[in-house]
Homo-oligomer: A and B are copies of this chain.
Amino acid sequence: MPTQTTDFAELRATLDLSMIGQEIYALMGELYPICRSITGDGFRQTLARLKKEILLEVHEVPSGTQVFDWTVPREWNIRDAYVKNSSGERVIDFRRHNLHVVNYSVPIHRKMSLAQLRPHLHTLPDQPDLIPYRTSYYKENWGFCLSHQQLEQMLEDEYEVCIDSTLEDGHLTYGECLLKGSSAEEVLISCHSCHPSLCNDNLSGVAVATFLSKHLAQVPLRYSYRFLFIPGTIGSITWLSMNEDRAHAIRHGLVLTCLGDRGHITYKKSRRGDAVIDRAMTHVLKHSGHAYDIQDFSPYGYDERQYCSPGFNLPVGCLMRTPHGKFPEYHSSADNMELMRPASLADSLSMCLSTFYILEKSLCYMNRNPRCEPQLGKRGLYRAMGGHRDEKLQETAMLWVLNQSDGSHSLLDIAERSELAFDTVKDAADMLLQHSLLKECADQAAAPTA
């Protein structure tokens, strides 16, 4: 459990990443068996578990609600599903793996030949031992998914096919957690939480978001942080439709997905391309000491598609490790707990916290002695004996902050221009503030990147 910390810097300094990685992994393990979909009780169970960790408000939106160009679908629930052979054996059994049923399958119960069943069976011939993940949200259909190996062993027979599901008017459910900061301006963290037993995509995002919220709740914040646990696509559309007047308060945002595999971090920029979140995340990754990729925005991917639609154009990027479709286990039964690395989960969380720290702290300052340098030496901020020219990093950072603090450059701007780490620049600014050599700009909102 995180201990009460006094501020964000201390939170970062005292994080036990090894322990947090294990905690995130453990939470994923509990959520893994639940059969989630974009609506229904699996989604509700998932939120119920998260409520043990964080303050979560659960919203229910009735089926049929118009949300922009879309309609909230009927609610899907499933109790059981199987294909039995003529000996009564369950050759395909939902109880063994919830991926065995095409998500959103309509109910069916009848006997049929293999030839009749065959068009409803989905496999991955190139990965013959994996069960694929298939959905049919917006077209009524039913089907089973199984390994290609298993399919090849199925004999001609009379099969009993049963999907004990319901697709009826009900609700779309989502969870929302708002950590209030001193400002009404918001940082949005969004994760699709609708996939059944799939880990990287996207229990990893759900669990990392949960622990981000849990830790950020311990410290005073400048921004308010809004966490959304939503079904993919329809969830973000629903939220935006019902919160159109709130969207303008979102100053920065991240969609979290695929955060647990062993790959390095990939950050996909917002549609704006030069938003502060894009620059802050790039800065963190550049100074992380690890490999990373930065991708330009594209209008396919996850819920950033909706946040970055032209009518909203919110500064929301997407953080992932290996992108969807680029790891072989993607959308199959192999996207399971074995694929997950606690260290990756913890590192993903840590990159988010470092980025949020920049968002919080990248203020604009004014040098109180803008004409020529102030005399650092008489304040004990400079080595007294000149001549040693191996300039120390901290002095360098102080000189950069003083030189650039004309009210139009944020600390992130200064870190970018100086190529120093944000933390170094921030420490220098703090030291200069302590010695009354800087002052905060009156109107941070007017600052270019704040």
Q: Which residues of A contact B (CB under 8 A)?
A: 67-70, 132-139, 141, 233, 236-237, 240-241, 244, 271, 298-300, 305-306, 308-313, 324-325, 330-331, 367, 369-375, 377-378, 384-387, 389-391, 395-396, 399-400, 402-406, 418
Contact between chains at B418 and A298 (CB < 8 Å): yes
Chain B nearest CB: distance from A443 CB in Å? Answer: 18
- Asked if residues A400 and B299 are in contact (CB atoms below 8 Å), the reply is yes
Residues of B within 8 Å of A139, CB to CB, are 377, 384-385
Most buried by B among A237, A310, A385: A310
Interface centre among A69, A70, A233, A237 (most CB of B within 10 A): A69
A441 nearest CB across to chain B (Å): 13
Q: Flag if A309 contacts B403 (CB, 8 Å).
A: yes
Q: Which residues of B contact A369 (CB under 8 A)?
A: 68-69, 311
Q: Is B133's CB under 8 angstroms from A387's CB?
A: yes
A70 nearest CB neighbor, chain B only: B375
Q: Which 5 A-B pairs have the closest CB atoms?
A: A311-B370, A311-B371, A299-B403, A310-B406, A139-B384
On chain B, the residues within 8 Å of A396 by CB distance are 298, 300
* CB-based nearest B residue for A387: B134
How many Å from the CB of A98 to the closest CB on chain B? Answer: 14
Q: A141-B385, A298-B400, A310-B406 are in contact. List 16 more A-B contacts (CB 8 A).
A: A68-B371, A69-B373, A134-B387, A136-B385, A139-B377, A271-B403, A298-B396, A300-B391, A300-B396, A300-B399, A305-B399, A305-B403, A309-B371, A310-B367, A310-B405, A331-B387
**Does B309 contact A372, Cβ atoms closer than 8 Å?**
yes
B244 and A403 contacting across the interface, CB-CB below 8 Å: no
Q: How far is the CB of A179 from chain B (nearest CB, A)?
A: 25
Determine which residue in A68, A244, A395 has the highest number of CB atoms from chain B within 10 A of its CB, and name it: A68
Contacts of A306 in B (CB 8 A): 372-373
Asked if A309 and B370 make an inter-chain contact with CB atoms under 8 angstroms apart, the answer reads yes
- Inter-chain CA distance A189–B193, complex, in Å, is 58
Establish whether residues A403 and B308, one from each chain, have CB atoms under 8 Å apart when the complex forms: yes
Contact, CB under 8 Å: B375 / A69: yes
Q: Which residue of B lies closest to A397 (CB)?
A: B299
Which of B309, B325, B400 contacts A373, CB < 8 Å? Answer: B309
Q: Are A372 and B236 in contact (CB under 8 A)?
A: yes
Note all chain B residues with C-beta closer than 8 A to A395: 300
Give chain B nearest CB distance to A104 CB in angstroms: 9
Whether the Cβ atoms of B402 and A299 lie closer than 8 Å is yes
A233–B298 alpha-carbon span in the complex (Å): 47
* Complex-state Cα separation, A70 to B373, whole angstroms: 9
- Docked pose: A399 CA to B141 CA in angstroms: 26
Residues of B with C-beta under 8 A to A400: 298-299
Q: In the complex, what residue of chain B is closest to A247 when comparing beta carbons?
A: B371
A43 CB, min distance to chain B CBs, angstroms: 17
